[in-house]
Structure 1
């Protein structure tokens, strides 16, 4: 896990992208943020870069390749699996079946998009601080 690596944000809603960028700017994390409108665009990027991103924040419901499909592809791709990219679902959709489905993909977390800026700020801060302190096989 490259703790200084990019944060890949897969989100098809431009308003949510804007809000997330405002949160990251406010929190002053130095990690570059790269936004993708769907899972296929993110997958193409990950295959084409030698970079090891810090983590992925992924919506679930997206065109072309949804969050569950993308997670499955990343989890079964030996090359990408070696990068130890943390995959977190970040969605407004929350019900028992969605959480069970997310857990079955071996994702490292499921977070609900908060409705207020302050709640979103707090959620992103918690996520970032947790993963910045976490050890991984490729950061020794």
Structure 2
């Protein structure tokens, strides 16, 4: 885990992207935020970059390659597993089955998207602070 690496945000909804952008700008973390509209574009980036991301924040319901499918592909890739990139879901739709599927793929957290900017800001702050304090096998 690279605590100074970019945050990967996979979100197909332009309004939600805008809200995340506002929150990250306000919180002023030094990490760049890289936006991807679907899982396939994020996968292509993760497979081709030498950059080590800090976190992946992913929606579930997206075109082309949804969040669960993307997580499955990342979970099976040995080289990406060694990068120890925390994978977190943010979704408006949540069911017990979705949450079980997510955790069975070793997703670290499943958040339901907040409806207010203040609540989203609190969640992002908590996430960033939590993961910046964590140690990963490749942190040493």
**What is the TM-score when the length of structure 1 is the normalising length?**
0.98
Q: Which position in structure 2 is the counterpart of 1:49?
A: 49
In structure 2, C-alpha distance between the alignment counterparts of 1:82 and 1:98, rounded to whole Å: 25
Give the number of aligned pairs.
140
Deviation at 1:110, TM superposition (A): 0.4
Task: Please list every run of at least 4 consecutive aligned residues from structure 1 whose deviation after the TM superposition is greater than 4 angstroms.
Answer: none
User: Quick check: 1:99 aligned with 2:82?
Assistant: no
Shift of 1:112: 1.0
RMSD: 0.7
Are positions 1:32 and 2:32 aligned together?
yes
Q: Distance in 2 between matches of 1:134 and 1:65?
A: 29
TM-score for the superposition, normalised by structure 2: 0.98
Tell me what 1:74 maps to: 74
Three-state SS of the structure 2 residue aligned to 1:138 is helix
Q: What whole-Å deviation, never above 9, does each CA across 1:74-106 have from its counterpart, x for those lacking one?
A: 011011111111100111112211111111111
Runs (5+) with no aligned partner, structure 1 = none
Q: What is the match of residue 133 of structure 2?
A: 133
List gaps (5 residues or longer) in structure 2: none
Shift of 1:130: 0.5
The answer to whether structure 1 residue 17 and structure 2 residue 17 are counterparts is yes
